[in-house]
Chain A
Amino acid sequence: MDSLHDLGGKQGFGQVVYPWPPHDEIWEPTVRALSACALRNHIYNMDEMRHAIERMAPRHYMSASYFERHLTAIATLLVEKGVTTREELEALAGGSFQLSGPIGPGRPPAEPQSFEIGETVRVKNEYVPGHVRMPGYIRGKTGVVIGITPPYPFPDAAGHGMQVPIEPTYDVRFRSRDLWPDSCDDALNHVGVFQSYLERAES
């Protein structure tokens, strides 16, 4: 989905806060442990977790800290999986508990195909309403495969709780000036891209 989590290349942001100031919130490690607990109990998977974060209302996403986003996603999934209800959560928390927006349908992977190192590929010009791990800045762009990494569950299906085959991913190299012509620093941009997101291109 094209929401504000897809930050790569967005303009108007400021200087990176670096070094990051010391920070010690006791609830944050607890959130990390609770998230691990829910994952290990297979209440949801990592793609569902990421998609639940993406489904946060844009204003909420932008104003929430990293661990507040995680809190929202865990709570949303616990409600959606029937482990609790929003009413119960709010009663236990003693206040309102904003959850992520509703989930829509996922999608199955594309027909299997394969690419080789050195091959020129294009990222399909797709607009996916659900979970997708293709950052918007490579949509429709052409690059070269420089690495093949192990297969992973196809996130567009896994993020919606569908049972799916795993598929290969590719490290694809783009030129920054092809991604943002005349409006970027010169660099080689590498993105891990699922096979289903790619199509063959003329080199």
Chain B
Amino acid sequence: MADHVTSTTATPEQKTAAIEMVLRRHGALADGFIEDFTEHADDTWVTANGARMVARAWTDPAFRARMLADGTSAAREMGFDFPEHHRHLVVLENTPDVHNVIVCTLCSCTAYTIIGAAPGWYKDLDYRARVVRESRTVLREMGLKLPETTEVRVWDTTTDTRYMVLPVQPPATEGWPAGKLAQIVTQDSMIGASRLDEVKG
């Protein structure tokens, strides 16, 4: 390290530019890839995908059964896709008495093509360290008060299986069409940080 102490540390922007240059010289980075990938990620891997699956599960019992049995096939059926290394999507069903919450303690894995890119708090150290051990406390601090009788199920994403939560449909929304229901489904509710209790008819 001694030979580096006199130089200034490169900024993240400078480091990014250096890596970009290296990959370009190596022949791995095609012109336009960064722009095309970013546009594809931002437009295609969105929370609305999971929200549409949830809304359909609320309104279509046969789809709900398929989604709970095989989340991957249910997602593909609706035209959603996965990166090569995500081989399985498990859908976790909330009930009035069961609450599921997802974390990745070792890094920050998520079903990002289905629920959208993970929010900053999900990737932050505090959430990763605490939610496995202090689930009720952490959720309460985040605004979700669970009755003592609720069973909390924490899911740590340690393999390349991915998880999403199927929230309970807010009673006030009974009878709504799937298109309208999809708009109330938040990313947080599919991670398990909220239960959509705040949704009124």
A90 at the interface (CB under 8 A from B): yes
Q: Is the CB of B22 within 8 A of A93?
A: no
Contact of B38 among A32, A98, A171 (CB under 8 A): A32
Interface residues of B in 67-81 (CB under 8 A from A): none
Classify chain A: how many residues form its interface, as a range. Answer: 35 or more
Q: Could you say which of B26-34, B51-59, B171-179 contacts chain A? A: B26-34
- Please tell me if the beta carbons of B106 and A150 are within 8 angstroms of each other in the complex: no
Instruction: Tell me the B18-67 residues at the A interface (CB within 8 Å).
Output: 18-23, 26, 28-29, 33-34, 37-38, 41-42
A169 to chain B: closest residue by CB: B159
- Name the A residues within 8 Å of B193 (CB-CB): 18
Q: Which of B103, B107, B126, B156 lies in contact with A5, CB distance below 8 A?
A: B107
Q: Are A184 and B8 in contact (CB under 8 A)?
A: no
B88-119 to A contact mask, C-beta < 8 Å, 1/0: 10100000000000010111100000000001
Do B126 and A15 have beta carbons less than 8 Å apart?
yes
**Contact assessment for A16 and B126 in the assembled complex, using a CB-CB cutoff below 8 Å:** yes
Per a CB cutoff under 8 Å, which of A15, A88, A152 touches B87?
A: A152
Instruction: Tell me the minimal C-beta distance from B7 to chain A in angstroms.
Output: 5
**Cross-interface CB contact of A93 among B14, B34, B141, cutoff 8 Å:** B14
A27 and B34 form a contact (CB under 8 A): no
Known A15-B141, A78-B22, A180-B133; judge A6-B152 contact (CB<8 A).
Answer: no
Determine whether the beta carbon of A9 is less than 8 Å from that of B16.
no
A34 touches B9 (CB 8 A): no
Alpha-carbon gap, A156 to B110, bound state (A): 21
Please indicate the chain B residues that have their CB under 8 angstroms from the CB of A187 in the complex. 135-136, 151-154
Task: Confirm or deny: B196 has a beta carbon within 8 angstroms of a beta carbon on chain A.
Answer: no
Shortest Cβ distance from residue B135 to the other chain A in the assembled complex, whole angstroms? 5
Residue pairs across A and B with CB atoms within 8 Å: the count is: 237
CB pair A10 B129 closer than 8 Å: yes
B28, A190: Cβ atoms under 8 Å? Answer: no
Report whether B8 and A171 are in contact in the complex, using a CB–CB cutoff of 8 Å: no
- The answer to whether A20 touches B119, judged by C-beta atoms less than 8 angstroms apart, is yes
Q: Is the CB of B15 within 8 A of A8?
A: no
Contact A83 B158 (CB under 8 A): no
Distance in angstroms between the alpha carbons of A179 and B154 in the assembled complex: 13
A75 in contact with B15 (CB, 8 Å): yes
**Which one of B26, B138, B159, B161 has the highest number of Cβ atoms from chain A below 10 Å of its Cβ?**
B159
B134 near A34: Cβ-Cβ < 8 Å? no
Instruction: Give me 18 other A-B pairs in contact (C-beta within 8 A), A29-B41, A152-B85 excluded.
Output: A16-B121, A16-B127, A16-B141, A30-B34, A78-B23, A83-B23, A83-B26, A90-B7, A95-B14, A96-B9, A97-B18, A133-B106, A149-B87, A171-B155, A179-B133, A185-B133, A187-B152, A190-B154
Enumerate chain B interface residues (CB-CB to A < 8 A): 4, 7-23, 26, 28-29, 33-34, 37-38, 41-42, 85, 87-88, 90, 103, 105-108, 119-121, 123-138, 141-143, 151-161, 193
Query: What is the interface of chain A, defined by CB distance below 8 A to chain B?
Result: 5-11, 13-21, 23, 25-27, 29-34, 36-38, 41, 43, 46, 50, 53, 62, 65-68, 71, 74-75, 78, 83-84, 88-90, 92-98, 133-135, 137, 147, 149-150, 152, 169, 171, 176, 179-180, 183-194
